[in-house]
Amino acid sequence: MKPVNYLIFLFIPALVIAGYLLGSWWNFLVPLCCFVVYPLSNFFLWPALKNNTERECHYSSSAYKYVALIFVPVLIVLTAWAVYVAGTATITTVSFIGLALSVGIVNGVLGFTLAHEFIHRFTRTEQVAGYLLLLQNNYMHYGIEHVWGHHVYTCTPEDPHTARISEPLYFYLFRAVKGTYKNAWNIDTKKSGRASGKFSIMRSRMLLFGFLQVGMMLIIFFTLGAISLLFFLLQNIGAIALLHIINYLQHYGLMRKLNAGGYERLNAHHAWNTGRYNRLINLFQLESHADHHMHPNRSFDKLSQHEESPSHPAGYSFMILLALVPPLWFRMMNKRINPVKA
């Protein structure tokens, strides 16, 4: 996928604004397009396993990086605008809920996907960009837990992001949110006290992140009011829920074997890839999750799909909807796990 092609995702923030301008139920344009129109369109597409071709690979990684960075100010401005109009404009309850849901989906789909990409990079610009996106989602500790927790313990009982087989999504969400925060504190406590042997407030990123997030909420409350703060928190909940639902899909039921020397090495069969997706569009290679775990420092434009990875029967949008109904999810997915374990 060419770097410029990723700009098509600017269409999603544009839908938020269009829905608001049209008013009322039009504020649900984003969930309608993402979870009704798009998954239905997937059934008219053929299964595609498309790795980067030589024709596409001649593009510089810098080109992909700068295209991805374009989305950071767009998402920040969109969220700030929505928080402002929610508290200062006269809008109906339907519009308020629809706008909050739409912004939450944008930040969950684009915001967290790009934040995840940037926190794995090593340049100051990308690191700052990643944590700015996490800040506006009130989930900065995710950056700590994901890099030093999830990538170490993926597909083991120690990882709160790995869904157990037959674990309902709603039980998983509680465990994942709680475990992410707890693990982040444990990791930060160890890292901040590594030099002196004891916990250091001045070196604690968890405390810094907490101050930044509380400070941002106080600014919203005292400048725009309680309604704006409520809107901000509602879209946070939507974005965070979407992040963890996607995590639920990515490793559901897949566990690494425990040997005498520890857990087996993480391989392509320890993450689900997407079975059916558009040949022309990928969400910053979110679909190539197995390759990301095998090569966590590899930028998204270099990721590939693996034929040996287990595959979802449909794209992320449809699988998210399916996960919301646990009996249907178990019926479709549990039978696909046994061949993977064999």
The predicted-structure confidence for 271-301, as pLDDT tens digits, reads as follows 888 755 554 567 777 777 888 888 888 888 7
Above 90 in pLDDT, residue 126?
yes
Whole-prediction pTM value? Answer: 0.90
pLDDT band at 163 (very low <50, low <70, confident <90, very high): very high
Chain centroid offset of residue 34 CA:
15
Spatial distance between the Cα atoms of 168 and 304, rounded to a whole number of angstroms: 30
Instruction: Enter the tokens of residue 317.
Output: 């949008």
Spatial distance between the Cα atoms of 101 and 236, rounded to a whole number of angstroms: 9
- Most confident option among 134-143, 200-209, 260-269: 134-143
Above 50 in pLDDT, residue 314?
yes
Mean pLDDT estimate for the chain: 86
- Contact between 81 and 310 (Cβ < 8 Å): no
Above 50 in pLDDT, residue 342?
no
Spatial distance between the Cα atoms of 4 and 318, rounded to a whole number of angstroms: 26
Above 50 in pLDDT, residue 55?
no
Spatial distance between the Cα atoms of 6 and 106, rounded to a whole number of angstroms: 15
Instruction: Enter the tokens of residue 324.
Output: 């919301």
Question: Between helices 316-323 and 326-341, what is the axis angle to 10°?
Answer: 120
Q: How many residues are listed for the chain in this entry?
A: 342
Nearest to 243 by CA among 284, 286, 207, 213: 286
